[in-house]
């Protein structure tokens, strides 16, 4: 439910009531100013995701890209690449990925780092489905990421709210 009132002098008041769930996520920031690449795709086929990530991998000479299923039935995918980049480069790579989820891109810009869900949502835990190989070695191991957050999202399909930081 979403209510909106227009107030005098260019003010607006809004009220939102929505069922939410809390989920765990991992943040892209490895050290201040250094991020691993993360992507979120919603409503896309695996073939599209692989094609776009392969293009980015070649363009930016990236190490292996790990692709995860974000929910049952496909059409929701997460991807990780363990190359350390600055925030501007991460945003450039994301912006040049045509099918990246715009909400994910927006929250990445807003927060200054990316966050991908790693815990269950509607009983589904993301799991790795494939790796795009590369001769380039990763800069860090996945277990080196140590910035996690609990955040609120809508059940099933819906945009996530900004997480409460827990770094």
Q: Which residue's entry shows tokens 């990316």?
A: 114
Q: What is the mean pLDDT of the segment spanning 40-48?
A: 95
Model pLDDT for residues 63-121, shown as the tens digit of each residue: 999 999 977 777 899 999 999 999 999 999 999 999 999 999 999 999 999 999 998 88
- Residue 159 pLDDT > 70, yes or no? no
Q: What is the pLDDT of residue 157?
A: 56
Residue 148 DSSP one-character state: E
* Percent above pLDDT 70 for the chain: 93
Distance of CA 45 to the CA centre of its chain: 17
Cα-Cα-Cα-Cα torsion 89, 42, 51, 96, nearest 10 degrees, comes to -30
- Work out the angle at residue 84's Cα, subtended by the Cα atoms of residues 119 and 112, and round it to the nearest 5 degrees: 65
Phi/psi for 154 (5° steps) reads: -85, 145
Lowest mean pLDDT among 19-23, 36-40, 56-60, 70-74: 70-74
Angle at 98 between CA 128 and CA 103, to 5 degrees: 75
Does 52 have pLDDT greater than 70? yes
Domain boundaries, given as residue ranges, for the chain: 21-153
| Reduced 3-state DSSP string for 28-75 | CEEECCEEEEEEEEECCCHHHHHHHHHHHHHHCCCCCEEEEECCCCCC
Whole-number percent of the chain with pLDDT over 90 = 61
pLDDT at 80: 98
The pLDDT value given to residue 161: 44
Q: What is the pTM of this model?
A: 0.82
Residue of higher predicted confidence among 134 and 122: 134
**What is the average pLDDT value for the chain, to the nearest integer?**
89
**CA distance readout (Å), 37 to 61, 100, 114, 147, 162:** 13, 12, 8, 14, 19
Which long-range CB contacts under 8 A does 87-92 form with residues at least 24 apart? 87/33, 87/35, 87/112, 87/113, 90/28, 90/35, 90/37, 90/114
Which pLDDT does position 165 carry in this prediction? 46
């Amino acid at each position: 439910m979403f209510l909106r009132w227009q107030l005098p002098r260019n003010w607006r008041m809004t009220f939102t009531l929505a069922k939410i769930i809390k989920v765990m996520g991992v943040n892209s920031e490895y050290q201040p100013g250094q991020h691993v690449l993360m992507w979120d795709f919603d409503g896309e086929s695996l073939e599209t995701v692989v094609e776009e990530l392969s293009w980015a991998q070649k363009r930016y000479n990236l190490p292996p890209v790990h692709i995860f299923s974000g929910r049952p039935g496909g059409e929701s995918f997460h991807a990780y690449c363990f190359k350390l980049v600055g925030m501007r480069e991460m945003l450039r790579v994301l912006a040049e990925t045509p099918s990246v989820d715009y909400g994910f891109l927006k929250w990445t810009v807003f927060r200054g780092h990316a966050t991908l869900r790693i815990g269950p949502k509607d009983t589904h835990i993301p799991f790795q489905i494939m790796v795009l190989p590369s001769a380039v070695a990763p800069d860090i191991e996945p277990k080196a990421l140590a910035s996690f957050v609990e955040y609120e999202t809508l059940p099933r399909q819906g945009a996530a709210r900004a997480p409460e930081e827990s770094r």
